[in-house]
Amino acid sequence: MMEILDCVNLNCPMPIVKINKALRNKITGDFITVKANDPAFKIDLEAWIRKTKNSLISFEVSEEIFTAIIEKRT
Amino acid sequence: MSEQNITLEELKLEFDSLKDKIEKIPQTQDKLSLIVFSGDMDKVMASFIIATGAAAMGTEVTLFFTFWGTSVLKKSEPQKRDKLFLQKMFGWMMPKGSKKLPLSKMNFCGAGPKMMNMLMKKYNTASISELLEVAQDCDINFYICQMSMDLMGIKKDELLPIKNLDYCGVAKFLEISDGGKTLFI
């Protein structure tokens, strides 16, 4: 079962802080699902992915909620 | 000697000397040091947001609190008695902890920060005390300027119990920030 990280109603910088913390106790190849609605979430997450060299598997929007699936690569 | 006649031995020597030079070039390190000089709520918030965000990006982060910024780390309780008169005066005039910081603009004698806090609650923005917790959780290093503490009359037991908090002077700060990025806020 994939871990779902709920970042709905959280503002900058909390979504990336929480993602970073959640990935700390994961191993390479693990996935997590993140839900958020911060309007800057997409651009921030993409920058975070590039910087930390993890990968973004999917990114979807429905009813103003973003759902991202991240794979731990490092 | 013409270029064509270089022996393998000479080439190896040249290669080794170049390798040696490259190894001596200082590497830019992934670290960020913030000088939190201001004790204004808005500027302190910006410092903490940048610091925690950078830590989440995998950067090694150091917060150096100096001058007015030292108020952020103060407990919100009454000050200790054993101080010089002028230090006590500073203690009375300075904000008592991170929840009492003024805004740099539109402070309106303290009404500004109250309104800002209401808005922050509504939009679920992390307050400075929450960001302080997050920063400790992200293993951010805290340093407080010893000289500012003396000037502002802040005793060590008047500071919050923060993980990774140490006292230092400018030399230590410069050593920490060397080779990384530094912001003065």
| B109 falls within a domain | yes
A11 Cβ under 8 Å from any chain B Cβ: yes
**Sign of the torsion angle spanned by Cα atoms B70, B107, B183, A44:** positive
Report DSSP state, residue B30. Answer: S
Distance, in Å, from the CA atom of B10 to the CA atom of B15, rounded to the nearest integer, reads 8
Mutation pick from A17, A37, A43, A46 vs chain B, by most beta carbons of B within 10 Å, is A17
Residue B50 tokens read as: 């940048």
Report the CATH number that the domain containing residue B38 is assigned in CATH: 3.40.1260.10
Q: Which of A12, A19, A21 sits opposite B49 (nearest CB)?
A: A12
Sort out which chain B residues have CB atoms less than 8 A from A16's CB and list them.
Answer: 53, 56-57
What number does CATH give the domain A3-71?
Answer: 3.30.110.40
Q: In Å, how far is B66's CA from the nearest CA of chain A? A: 24
pLDDT in tens, B92-102: 888 888 888 99
| Domain-embedded: residue B100 | yes
Average pLDDT over residues B62-91: 87
- Domain residue extents for chain A: 3-71
Whether the CB of A16 is below 8 Å from some CB of chain B: the reply is yes
**pLDDT of B3 higher than 90:** no
Q: Which domain holds residue B69?
A: 30-184
Its ipTM equals 0.88
Q: CB distance B125–A11 less than 8 Å?
A: yes
Print pLDDT tens along chain A (74 aa). 788 999 999 998 999 999 999 999 899 999 999 999 999 999 999 999 999 999 999 999 998 999 999 999 97
Give strand pairing partners of B62: B33, B141
Residue by residue, DSSP assigns B102-148 as PPSS--GGGHHHHHHHHHHHHTTPPPHHHHHHHHHHTT-EEEEEHHH
- B29 vs B129, more confident: B129
Residue B74 lies in a domain: yes
